[in-house]
């Protein structure tokens, strides 16, 4: 081996080239003219977003009755969609915070877009608790605020806890995402050719100059935010699960819900990240940064969380029988064998059987197979929430009030519309912001450590 | 109100008399020689000494046994020789009330059908004919034919089609006219009925037309269901298991046992052995009045009077057929109907269910804005103004008695100039807007009125803050109940009727295992069937 100084000198030149390559590739996405694929994709997303606007207009002017919800199933697709989107929003924090604290360096290629996805998923989720209320113009009553009547929210209600859990999560995620982006925004500012981009990125970069002191503070703040976010990975979906677990409905009232929901959330979150990143890396020419090994790592996490979810399904049924609670046992038999059995088997096959394909190496390394399987997983995770919410409520204690939920076209349009919101935001992000954390990728790339014997 | 003229005015005008109707009536009354003035009679509500003479009636001969035998066995008639019986509708009678939406939406006692008249076919006969519920069938008798929707009805006599009259009118009015499938209105059954067979005809042929027609029932019907055979029966089997717990009954022998306590007969859940559970929350204590209700299932015959009375008293909206098919009927009080035993010859049990006013109300803890709360007198109050409509309370109510305003059901009456609303609505009860939850209040407006009266000085009130005498307050359902099955009162008065009934050994809590501590208690039914009327091969008692 050559002397350290020589090696450092030699590799420094190579490293600089690699670093520049990363910067070029990532900023090109944001600074070059709009690629051809972007406009059709954005157009379709906008059409879907229009579905949301139209269906919300109809909902606000007519009432919840435009959906299929009824006096037996007070919640149906509305809360199913809410939990579905909140679940998807979980991968971002896990990747950003937990994997950061555990020094999982492979996360750097995907963390930025996963965080963005988180925020957009929380945005899509966040509309549902508001719009599903009968009088959404009064939804702000759920936020504690001083008022002349001395009225406070009812703190025993898990819906109240939801308000805190989700607003905290949204705030922290946005801070984390934006703060992590500041150095990269400065890079875009410096490289932008058009004036409006220079000004725009300049404002967003908050005067970042890249000094050692700025970097030091940045690293500290990032660590603190990571530490603050980590409990949120567990708490947010636990609190969401309390919406069900603290009720007294058979099928909802179970202590397994918090861990089961968290595992499911991470499961669906990773499935969505993979669904988005495989086309993104293809279209934006980022295959050498978002590598196949990264996608493979996500698949492995999906095997693990998929097994947890499958285990939870089994334990739920076992406990329903073992508890000796006749109502509980009926709810689960009805869930599996009753009128909604089609939904149950859709859920089990998508969430338990589909991830088993990831044991096969080819299914992990062929990105398009991964996308197909991940879409199925997300279908399954949507059905999981539907099964929990709609089938449990369909047949509760009083057989005189048993019923069957059928969605209306407005249920479907609202759901499509929430995808429109999500994709529109994500496409804007993919077009105008640094989709990969350049600084972080560089820091963990092998070139950054070449010849550094103190590592 | 609309400047119209009444029938008597029209008749008078034809005779050249322009006198207004009220004067015509007063004049006729004066001429009738009933005594007093018309205004006095109107005030009293009746005319004294005009009752009919008491009739002496004796029970007839042995016709009953023959009828029972036919009902139980039925005729094994083949298609082509089926019997058709014409039945008056429980909603529109012969069709004369077809334009009354309250009645159209009142579920039939047994079928729970609203907004349409149907043809009832027994399960066995339906199987033989290959007909299922919601099939439109063509019933042919001679050269007459009727297309009507079929409903497979447990307990309908075999080989006999029960055609309910009163639907399919064309000039009944805006509500009663035959409408599109989603609006209802029924089928004109008079097409089959001639003077040759006013009550029944024979020799009928039934065939499927191939079309389907949606029936709006307020209760899941055993035949209107989805999925493969296990899905279809899993619920029915569960209902049979739950029934002895929900609707408790005993027979004469069981009741004769002095140790009988309906509370203890708890076959579905077995944790009653462990005693009452504890609430997670601090339980409220009550110093003053404690309102409560008792419903005696032994007296209830499922006649729906309470349901309609509640609707009238509490401004409960009619929602229409499409909303009923979506399980959005708004009635605060419903009568659950269950079949027991062989579906071709079942026993029927009914149970009126409204808000149970639980002391540990599960709805209250889950509302994020505190829109449903407990009063100091133990009422589970709904604060409409505060409700944002999350519907969590509905989901968490094990009795499923909460009703949500999914759309603006009173839309037509929002205009203050609409004169109908002055007549339609009870001014003492809030008309709920869309997006808020509602449910039985124990007629809180009547309770408040009695309390105000008790506090106010004479002559309008009792003059002192004295107790409200038992029986002063009657809820609307109680007032309408012809068998006095519903009793309302104050539990803090040990002598009140409701206190006595709450102490009865027949009393039990609905879903008591949940420790909701409902203020409404049910009294178990004691069955004592006449052994001679019991169908052959079936014991009189069933426990």
Q: Is B61 exposed, middle or buried (0-12, 13-18, 19+ CB in 10 A)?
A: exposed
For residue B66, name the pLDDT band (cuts at 50, 70, 90).
very low
| Residue B75 banded pLDDT, cuts 50, 70, 90 | low
Which residues of chain A have a CB within 8 Å of the CB of B440? none
Number of residues that make up chain B:
543
With CB atoms and an 8 Å threshold, state whether B408 touches A327. Answer: no
Query: Pick from A144, A136, A143, A154: which is nearest to B370 by CA?
Result: A154
Q: Which of B235, B326, B387 sits opposite A334 (nearest CB)?
A: B235
- For residue A297, pLDDT over 70 is answered with yes
Please report whether residue A20 resides in a domain. no
% chain B with pLDDT above 70: 88
Q: What is the DSSP letter of A74?
A: S
- Residue among B508, B444, B476 at smallest CA distance from B291: B444
- Full domain range(s) for residue B40: 7-44
Q: Tell me, yes or no, whether A258 lies in a domain.
A: yes
pLDDT at site B356: 94
Q: Are B504 and B403 members of one domain?
A: yes
Residues B176 and B265 in one domain: no
Long-range contacts of A344-348 (CB under 8 A, 24+ apart): A344/A387, A344/A391, A346/A379, A346/A380, A346/A383, A347/A313, A347/A380, A347/A383, A347/A384, A347/A386, A347/A387, A348/A310, A348/A313, A348/A380
What's the confidence (pLDDT) of residue B464? 57
Asked whether residue B246 falls in the same domain as residue B213, the answer is no
Q: Which pLDDT value is given to residue B395?
A: 94
Say if A400 falls within a structural domain.
yes
Separation in Å, CA of B246 to nearest CA in chain A: 8
Chain B 155-184, residues with CB within 8 Å of chain A CB atoms: none
Answer whether residue B450 is part of any domain. Answer: yes
User: d(Cα B501, Cα B134) in Å, to the nearest integer?
Assistant: 43
Predicted confidence band of residue B383 (pLDDT cuts 50, 70, 90)? very high
| Contact between B406 and A65 using a beta-carbon 8 Å cutoff | yes
CATH number at residue A196: 1.20.1630.10
B382 touches B438 (CB < 8 A)? yes
Nearest CA in chain A to B237: A330
Q: Is residue B314 part of a domain?
A: yes
Q: Is B212 in the same domain as B296?
A: no
Yes or no, beta carbons of B368 and A334 under 8 Å apart? no
- Name the residue of chain B whose CA is nearest to A336's CA: B231
- CA–CA distance, B426 with B428 (Å, rounded to integer): 5
| pLDDT of B72 above 60 | no
Peptide bond into B459 cis (omega under 30): yes
Does B250 lie in the same domain as B173?
Answer: no
Q: Which of A258-262, A424-428, B254-258 has the lowest mean pLDDT?
A: B254-258
Residue B72 falls within a domain, yes or no?
Answer: no
* Neighboring chain B residues of A396 at a CB cutoff of 8 Å: 398, 400
Same-domain status, B306 and B440: yes
Maximum Cα–Cα distance across chain B: 82
Note whether B329 contacts A: Cβ–Cβ < 8 A: yes
- Separation of alpha carbons B401 and B325, rounded Å: 17
pLDDT at B393 over 90: yes
CB-CB neighbors (< 8 A) of B395 in chain A: 73-75, 247, 249, 393
Q: Note whether B267 contacts A: Cβ–Cβ < 8 A.
A: no
CA distance A359 to A100: 26
Any residues with CB less than 8 A from the CB of B7 and at least 6 apart, and which?
Answer: none
Residue B70 in any domain: the answer is no
DSSP classification of residue B413: G
State which residue of chain A sits closest to B392, comparing Cα positions. A74
Confidence of residue A109 (pLDDT cuts 50, 70, 90): confident
- Please name every residue paired with B147 in a beta bridge, in sequence order, or none if there are none: B138
Hey, which of A12-21, B152-161, B292-301 has the most confident mean pLDDT?
B292-301
Number of independent structural domains in chain A: 1
Does residue A4 lie within any of the structural domains? no
Instruction: Report yes or no: B334 at the A interface, CB cutoff 8 Å.
Output: yes
Query: Looking at residue B86, which CATH number applies to its domain?
Result: 2.40.40.20
- Look at residue A6 and tell me whether its pLDDT is greater than 60: no
Any idea what DSSP says for residue B493? S
CB < 8 Å to A132, chain B: 390-391
Q: Which of A337, A399, A405 would best serve as a mutation to test chain B binding (most B beta carbons within 10 A)?
A: A399
The Cα–Cα gap between B514 and B277 comes to 8
Please tell me if residue B231 touches chain A, with a CB cutoff of 8 Å.
Answer: yes
Tell me the C-alpha distance between B481 and B309, whole Å.
9
> Which pairing describes strands B380-382 and B403-404: parallel, antiparallel, or unpaired?
unpaired
CB-CB contact of A118 with A296 (8 Å): no
**CA B460-B461-B465 angle, 5° bins:** 160
User: Least CA distance to A128: which residue of chain B?
Assistant: B390
A69 touches chain B (CB under 8 A): yes
Asked if A323 has any chain B CB less than 8 Å from its own CB, the reply is no
List the one residue out of B246, B281, B443, B277 whose CA is nearest residue B360: B281
Residues B479 and B435 in one domain: yes
Residue A12 resides in a domain = no
Pair B191, B139: CB distance under 8 Å: no
Instruction: For residue B368, list chain A residues with Cβ-Cβ distance below 8 A.
Output: 142, 153-154, 157, 159-160, 163
pLDDT computed for residue A242 by the predictor = 93
Report CA Rg, chain A.
24
The answer to whether position A8 is within a domain reads no
> Does residue B226 belong to the interface with chain A, where contact is any CB pair within 8 Å?
yes
For residues B171 and B248, membership in a common domain is answered with no
Going by C-alpha positions, the residue among B123, A400, B388, A384 that lies closest to residue A392 is A384
Cβ–Cβ gap B392/A74 under 8 Å: yes
Indicate whether A317 pLDDT > 60. yes
Percent of chain A exceeding pLDDT 90 equals 50
Domain count, chain B: 3
Query: Could you tell me if A337 lies within 8 Å of chain B, comparing CB atoms?
Result: yes
- Is residue B271 domain-resident? yes
Residue B63 is predicted with a pLDDT of 44
* B336/A64 Cβ within 8 A: no
Q: Are residues B383 and B505 in the same domain?
A: yes
Per the domain annotation, does B417 fall within a domain? yes
What's the confidence (pLDDT) of residue B501? 93
The lowest-confidence range among A114-123, A335-344, B69-78 is B69-78
What burial class does residue A105 get, using C-beta atoms within 10 Å of its C-beta: 0-12 exposed, 13-18 middle, 19+ buried?
A: middle
pLDDT value of position B32: 77
Chain B hits for A325, CB-CB cut-off 8 Å, are 269
Residues of A in contact with B219 (CB under 8 A): 400-402
Distance CA B379, CA B519 (A): 9
pLDDT in tens, B421-451: 778 889 899 999 999 999 999 999 999 998 8
3-state secondary structure string across B77-134:
CCCCCEEEEEECECCCECCCCCCCHHHHHCCCCCCCEECCCCEEECHHHHHHHCCCCC
Task: Pick the closest to residue B303 from B337, B341, B257 (CA basis).
Answer: B337
User: How far is the C-alpha of A132 from the C-alpha of A152, rounded, in Å?
Assistant: 21
Looking at the fold, whether B199 and B270 belong to one and the same domain comes out as no
B149 and B103 co-located in one domain: yes
**If residue B163 lies in a helix (H) or strand (E), which one and from where to where?**
strand B160-164
- Which of A134, A152, A406 has its CB closest to that of B389? A134
Contact residues for B205 (Cβ-Cβ < 8 A; gap 6+): B79, B80, B82, B139, B140, B141
Q: Is the pLDDT of residue B101 over 80?
A: yes
What is the DSSP annotation of B182-211?
TT-----GGGT-BTTBSSEEEEEEEEEEEE
Separation of alpha carbons A366 and B493, rounded Å: 78
Rounded Cα distance, A19 and A24, in Å: 9
| Structure confidence at residue B178 (pLDDT) | 74
Neighbouring CB atoms inside 10 A of A268's CB total 32
Report yes or no: B533 at the A interface, CB cutoff 8 Å: no
Q: Which residue of A has its CA nearest to B389?
A: A134
Q: Answer yes or no: do B28 and B129 share one domain.
A: no
Contact B398 A396 (CB under 8 A): yes
Residue B396 belongs to domain with CATH number: 3.30.70.20
Write out pLDDT tens, residues A376-412: 999 999 999 999 999 999 999 999 899 889 899 999 9
Domain assignment present for A315? yes
* Cβ neighbours around A317 below 10 Å, total: 15
Q: How many Cα atoms sit within 13 Å of A168 on the Cβ side?
A: 19
The overall average pLDDT reported for chain A is 87
Q: Is residue B131 part of a domain?
A: yes
Range(s) of the domain holding residue A307: 26-449
């Amino acid at each position: 081996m050559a002397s350290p100084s020589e090696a450092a000198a030699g590799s420094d030149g190579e490293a600089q080239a690699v670093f520049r390559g990363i910067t070029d590739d990532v900023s090109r996405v944001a600074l070059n003219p709009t690629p051809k694929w972007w406009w059709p994709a954005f157009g379709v997303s906008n059409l879907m977003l229009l579905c949301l606007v139209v269906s919300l207009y109809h909902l606000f002017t007519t009432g919840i009755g435009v959906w299929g919800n009824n006096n037996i199933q007070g919640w149906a697709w509305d809360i199913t969609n809410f939990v579905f989107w909140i679940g998807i929003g979980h991968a971002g924090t896990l990747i950003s915070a937990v994997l950061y604290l555990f020094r999982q360096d492979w996360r750097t290629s995907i963390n930025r877009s996963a965080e963005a996805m988180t925020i957009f998923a929380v945005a899509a989720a966040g509309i549902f608790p508001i719009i599903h209320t009968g009088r959404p113009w009064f939804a702000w009553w759920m936020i504690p605020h001083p008022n002349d009547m001395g009225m406070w929210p009812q703190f025993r209600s898990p819906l109240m806890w939801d308000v805190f859990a989700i607003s905290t999560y949204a705030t922290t995620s946005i801070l984390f995402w934006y703060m992590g982006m500041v150095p990269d925004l400065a890079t875009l500012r410096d490289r932008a050719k058009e004036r409006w981009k220079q000004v725009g990125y300049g404002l967003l970069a908050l005067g970042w100059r890249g000094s050692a002191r700025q970097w030091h503070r940045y690293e500290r703040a990032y660590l603190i935010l990571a530490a603050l976010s980590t409990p949120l990975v567990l708490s947010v979906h636990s609190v969401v699960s309390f919406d069900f677990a603290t009720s007294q409905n058979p099928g909802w009232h179970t202590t397994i819900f918090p861990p089961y929901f968290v595992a499911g959330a991470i499961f669906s979150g990773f499935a969505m990240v993979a669904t988005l990143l495989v086309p993104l890396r293809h279209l934006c020419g980022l295959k050498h940064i978002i590598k196949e090994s990264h996608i493979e790592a996500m698949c492995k996490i999906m095997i693990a969380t998929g097994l947890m979810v499958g285990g939870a399904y089994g334990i739920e049924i076992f406990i329903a029988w073992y508890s000796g609670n006749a109502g509980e046992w009926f709810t689960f038999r009805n869930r599996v064998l009753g009128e909604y059995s089609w939904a149950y088997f859709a859920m089990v096959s998508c969430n338990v059987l589909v991830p088993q394909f990831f044991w096969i190496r080819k299914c992990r390394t062929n990105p398009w197979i991964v996308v197909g399987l991940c879409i199925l997983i997300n279908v399954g995770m949507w059905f999981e929430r539907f099964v929990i919410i709609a089938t449990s409520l369909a047949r509760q204690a009083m057989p005189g009030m048993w019923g069957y939920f059928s969605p209306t076209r407005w249920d479907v349009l609202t759901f499509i519309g929430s995808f429109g919101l999500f994709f529109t935001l994500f496409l804007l992000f993919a077009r105008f912001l640094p989709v990969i954390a350049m600084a972080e990728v560089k820091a963990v790339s092998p070139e950054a450590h070449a010849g550094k014997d103190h590592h | 109100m609309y400047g119209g003229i009444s029938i008597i005015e029209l008749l008078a005008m034809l005779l050249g008399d322009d006198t207004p109707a009220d004067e015509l009536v007063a004049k006729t009354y004066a001429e009738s020689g009933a005594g007093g003035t018309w205004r006095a009679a109107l005030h009293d509500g009746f005319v004294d000494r005009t009752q009919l003479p008491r009739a002496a009636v004796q029970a007839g001969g042995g016709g009953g046994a023959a009828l029972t035998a036919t009902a139980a066995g039925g005729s094994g008639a083949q298609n082509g020789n089926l019997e058709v019986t014409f039945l008056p509708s429980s909603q529109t009678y012969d069709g004369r009330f077809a334009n009354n939406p309250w009645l159209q939406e009142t579920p039939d006692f047994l079928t729970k059908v609203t907004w349409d008249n149907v043809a009832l076919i027994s399960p066995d006969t339906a199987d033989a004919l290959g007909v299922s519920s919601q099939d439109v069938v063509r019933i042919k008798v001679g050269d007459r034919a009727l297309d009507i929707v079929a409903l497979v009805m447990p307990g309908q006599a075999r080989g006999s089609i029960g055609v309910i009259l009163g639907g399919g009118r064309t000039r009944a009015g805006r509500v009663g006219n035959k409408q599109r499938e989603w609006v209802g209105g029924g089928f004109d059954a008079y097409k089959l009925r001639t003077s040759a067979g006013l009550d029944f005809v024979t020799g009928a042929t039934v065939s499927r037309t191939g079309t389907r027609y949606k029936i709006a029932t307020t209760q899941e019907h055993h035949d209107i269901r989805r999925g493969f055979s296990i899905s279809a029966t899993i619920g029915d089997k569960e209902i049979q298991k739950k029934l002895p717990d929900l609707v408790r009954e005993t027979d004469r022998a069981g009741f004769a046992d002095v140790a009988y306590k309906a509370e203890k007969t708890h076959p579905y859940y077995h944790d009653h052995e462990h005693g009452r559970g504890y609430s997670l929350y601090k339980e409220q204590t009550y110093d003053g009045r404690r309102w409560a209700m008792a419903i005696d299932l032994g007296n209830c015959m499922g006649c729906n009077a309470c349901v309609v009375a509640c609707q009238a008293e509490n401004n409960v909206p009619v929602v229409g057929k499409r909303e009923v098919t979506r399980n959005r009927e708004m009635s605060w009080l419903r009568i659950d109907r269950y079949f027991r035993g062989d579906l071709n010859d079942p026993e029927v049990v009914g149970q009126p269910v409204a808000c149970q006013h639980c002391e540990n109300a599960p709805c209250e803890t889950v509302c994020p804005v505190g829109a449903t709360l407990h009063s100091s007198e133990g009422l589970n109050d709904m604060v409409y103004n505060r409700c944002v409509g999350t519907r969590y309370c509905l989901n968490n109510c094990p009795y499923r008695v909460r009703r949500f305003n999914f759309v603006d059901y009173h839309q037509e009456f929002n205009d203050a100039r609409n004169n109908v609303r002055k007549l339609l609505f009870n001014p003492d009860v809030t008309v709920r807007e869309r997006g808020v939850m509602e449910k039985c209040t124990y007629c809180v407006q009547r309770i408040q009125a009695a309390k105000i009266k008790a506090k106010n000085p004479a002559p309008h009130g009792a003059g002192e803050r004295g107790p409200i005498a038992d029986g002063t307050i009657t809820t609307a359902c109680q007032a309408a109940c012809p068998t006095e099955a519903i009793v309302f009162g104050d539990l803090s008065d040990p002598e009140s009727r409701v206190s006595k009934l709450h102490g009865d050994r027949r009393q039990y809590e609905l879903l008591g295992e949940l420790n909701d501590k409902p203020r409404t208690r049910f009294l178990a039914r004691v069955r004592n069937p006449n052994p001679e009327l019991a169908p052959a091969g079936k014991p009189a008692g069933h426990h």
